[in-house]
Amino acid sequence: MRAVLALAIALACVASPAQAHRPSDAFLTLEVDGARVRGNWEIALRDLAVVVALDADRDRAITWGELRAALPAIADAVGHSLRVSADGRSCALRARDLQVDDRVEGRFAWIELAGECPVAPEQLGLDYHLLFDVDPTHRGILVLSSGGTTHSAVFAPDHASVSIALDESSAWQQFADYLREGIHHIWIGADHILFLISLLLPCVLVPDEAVRRGRLRPVMAGVLGVVTAFTLAHSLTLGLAAFSVLRLPTSLTESAIALSVLFAATNNLVPMVTRGRWRMAFGFGLVHGFGFASVLGELGLPASARLLALVAFNLGVEVGQLSIVVVALPLAYALRNTAFYRRAVLGGGSLAVGFVAVCWFAQRSGLLSPG
């Protein structure tokens, strides 16, 4: 029991609300008008502090005065982390002004960018390298507009450079970017993963005698029911939110997701829903869909390909989700009748998940400060 509690505490220490969905995102918005390029770059202060010494007096509180004093260093970091070229020729893009933007994820530096290219570009190249050398989970979200056409891209360590033809928008490239980000999001979405696994753990509890008699159909039906219900539910609310039909406040959504994880884990310890777990998966899946939608909204749905981006992102979520099920389910099935599975995995694991979910809820609802 002490080992289980130690594991729970360790998980809680590393599982903050921000880490559950977006460990590190920066948002780059650019507009090209002839040879002129302007826009802004929003970077979380906690991320910017990794590359620039912001806390001059080291009191763990970044003041406006410290931020303004660091503007030359910030401008230098921007110049090294983002390079723009027009038809292969370098553009002079500089940081001109600095503000602070309070977002749900925390405080962000809002950096105004402006510059000019040697020529009005037909092909705009961007090389993005912020934080990639220290944080492989970092993502740079680009929304670029030119001549009434909107382009989007997601920078990652293995996708740090893009070349965009300003007179056209590549549907395939956008589809691939959003598909990749859907997979990435579910893989780093600890709350989504723990919710799904908590629902699936009891599904494999079938005795060897039943296996010998060929009674695996109820097991497979239970697994498929949970996965299918969760998929349909979060796809529904993801679509409604993406098209602005129905939205929920992010703080409310994140708190409700934490409660869904807590309920699923507690149900394994004190059974309340023993039949029809697919109903629980569907009901809570509606809430998780709004969580996916908040991430998709941050990615900046391109107006000209909104449906394409939505389908690609949702498909990526399903691919990531199925990959987790395919790995976890055979292991759970192989261990299903062992004392280790029943006590350590199902019992101890559900206890640890429940403890983490309580911490998430306390932080996301404001009952406990994440700092």
DSSP of 62-97, one letter per residue? --HHHHHHTHHHHHHHHHHHEEEEETTEE-EEEEEE
Please give the full DSSP string across 107-145, using - where no structure is assigned.
EEEEEEEEEE-SS--SEEEEEE-TTTTT-TT-EEEEEEE
**d(C-alpha 26, C-alpha 62), whole Å:** 19
What is the per-residue pLDDT for 9?
A: 44
What is the SS3 assignment for 170? coil
Q: What is the DSSP letter of 156?
A: B
What is the per-residue pLDDT for 130?
A: 92
Tokens of 31: 């507009």
**d(C-alpha 25, C-alpha 137), whole Å:** 9
What is the per-residue pLDDT for 91?
A: 92
What is the per-residue pLDDT for 353?
A: 93
Element (DSSP H or E) covering residue 167: none
Q: Which residues in the chain land under pLDDT 70? A: 1-23, 104-105, 148, 167-171, 206-221, 297-305, 368-371
pLDDT digits (tens, 9 = 90+) for 173-214: 778 878 888 888 788 788 888 998 998 888 877 655 555 555
Residue pair 305/170 in contact by the 8 Å Cβ criterion: no
What is the per-residue pLDDT for 16?
A: 43
The phi, psi pair for 181, rounded to 5°, reads -70, -30
Q: What is the reported pTM?
A: 0.64
What is the per-residue pLDDT for 129?
A: 92
**d(C-alpha 103, C-alpha 44), whole Å:** 9
**75: Cβ contacts below 8 Å, ≥ 6 apart:** 94, 95
Q: What is the DSSP letter of 343?
A: I
pLDDT digits (tens, 9 = 90+) for 317-366: 889 888 888 888 888 888 888 889 888 999 999 999 999 999 989 888 87
What is the per-residue pLDDT for 329?
A: 84
